[in-house]
Chain A
């Protein structure tokens, strides 16, 4: 829009907070009886990231990649785009992130050694646990029903938070910069959206970004190498 420079952030907010949270109500209703399976698959991520077996590591990467594809196709394309036309343009980036996760997950040279109980690995695992188990309950904490809970694999924020955790645990120093940019951009944009809507969940995003940056700046790079137990 040739006059786009003159708009304020709130002018780009096309929908209300209520409509935004109802999108998650709708997607959770769509999944319906399969929701426990979605949650169980999220829990598999928590187990998979500790595995020394190559096949499990690849399966974990596949699972997380599938989460990006499903949140793009279900949340962005089916629901979010109906109230925010810009959401469609995010879909290719979600698919790209899925590809990058597979690339890192399949290639042992792009993984970090299995010393995942160090500070970076621990921070990553805490973030992963938060994304899979705790984040859905923030809906209750902030006075919303569990129906609008955000689950990894359906909701972009939960999926991006899980990916930050996964990347901190699994990715080598080099591949970290392959995996992190898209989830970070997703979370920054989402944080701005939540902030403009006036919802306190924006601070969760800020906290996650802070934890990630502090972890990255305070942990010394380790030597990279293959991680598999052949």
Chain B
């Protein structure tokens, strides 16, 4: 489910090629019919249902002009949509990831059910609008579904701009993000003082800071929550590799550590969508399978966290 094994085997390459070949044969509008039913959560501010597992692009989709890797990324996107996924998240900070998404969306056709989530990330308040326009061009979308202020960088003027854009119908949802625990106090202040549709934070089984205050606050204020780094950029999988998966993991259909970790994240009732990043078709399918299987309940979640903490 992560990029643990960087070197693709012949089998993986074949899988990616088959996915891409299959996707190119899909007629317009057929993604939704082809996709299996997956668990969704409602965006509190609108009630719109969003599949609980999305796709991140940090590092994994920054592949430059490499045609081989661009096609592999497209295959990952195709597998993601085929499995019922919608939200793809990126940022101007992520190198060529936006271009990679544009390449893939163009190749897969206009009918993809993508829920486009991007960010504004510039210290210059006057650059926000231009940056967003450039990001739209990279993606090849007329407007984004969601725009967030990345890591609270110059958040006040940017959030003003996003509110204006939302009022003008130029974006559907707005929000803020952080991937740093030490900024949670400031993050909470913005959540208290600003009308937001979404927040995006780092959350995983060993990084549970947000469970105490931010997640309850998001539920209280009616904000959707995107959880990034559910595997802590592969580190968690590496840490747990070789350690025994508890026998009781089968109670919620977790057959490996990646499923165990992702199910922990998406089973929190405040989480609207988790966005694991990957370069592999088999991993994106595994991730999406977590969205349709059973999830641990509150008691099981505590047991999971304690088990991993004590390993």
A residues adjacent to B (C-beta < 8 A): 1-3, 6, 10-11, 13-19, 22-23, 26, 79, 82-85
With A6-B182, A19-B69 given, is the CB distance from A1 to B96 under 8 Å? Answer: no
With A6-B182, A14-B94 given, is the CB distance from A22 to B153 under 8 Å? Answer: no
Q: Is the CB of B64 within 8 A of A79?
A: yes
A85: contacting residue among B95, B180, B233, CB under 8 A? B95
Please list 12 pairs of residues, one from A and one from B, whose beta carbons are closer than 8 Å in the complex, sorted by A's number. Answer: A1-B123, A3-B153, A6-B180, A6-B183, A15-B95, A16-B59, A19-B64, A23-B66, A26-B66, A79-B64, A82-B65, A83-B63
Closest to B8 in A: A18
Count the A-B residue pairs with Cβ separation under 8 angstroms: how many?
62
Additional 10 contacts, C-beta under 8 A, given A15-B64, A16-B279, A19-B62: A1-B123, A3-B153, A15-B62, A18-B6, A18-B7, A22-B66, A23-B66, A26-B65, A79-B65, A83-B64
Q: Is the CB of B60 within 8 A of A83?
A: no
Does residue B151 face the partner (Cβ distance < 8 Å to A)? yes
Using a CB-CB cutoff of 8 Å, which residues 91-129 of chain B contact chain A? 93-96, 121, 123
> In the complex, what distance in Å separates the CA atom of A83 from the CA atom of B62?
6
Nearest chain A CB to B152 CB, angstrom units? 7
Does residue B300 face the partner (Cβ distance < 8 Å to A)? no
Q: Is the CB of A23 within 8 A of B64?
A: yes
Q: Is the CB of B151 within 8 A of A3?
A: yes
Q: Is the CB of B64 within 8 A of A82?
A: yes
> How many residues belonging to B are interface residues under a CB distance threshold of 8 Å?
28
Write out the residue numbers on chain B whose beta carbons fall within 8 Å of the beta carbon of A1.
Answer: 121, 123, 153
Does residue B154 face the partner (Cβ distance < 8 Å to A)? yes
> In the complex, what distance in Å separates the CA atom of A16 from the CA atom of B154?
28
Q: Is the CB of A14 within 8 A of B59?
A: yes
> In the complex, what distance in Å separates the CA atom of A6 from the CA atom of B63?
26
Nearest chain A CB to B43 CB, angstrom units? 27
Write out the residue numbers on chain B whose beta carbons fall within 8 Å of the beta carbon of A14.
Answer: 59, 62, 93-95
> In the complex, what distance in Å separates the CA atom of A220 from the CA atom of B222?
72
Does residue B209 face the partner (Cβ distance < 8 Å to A)? no
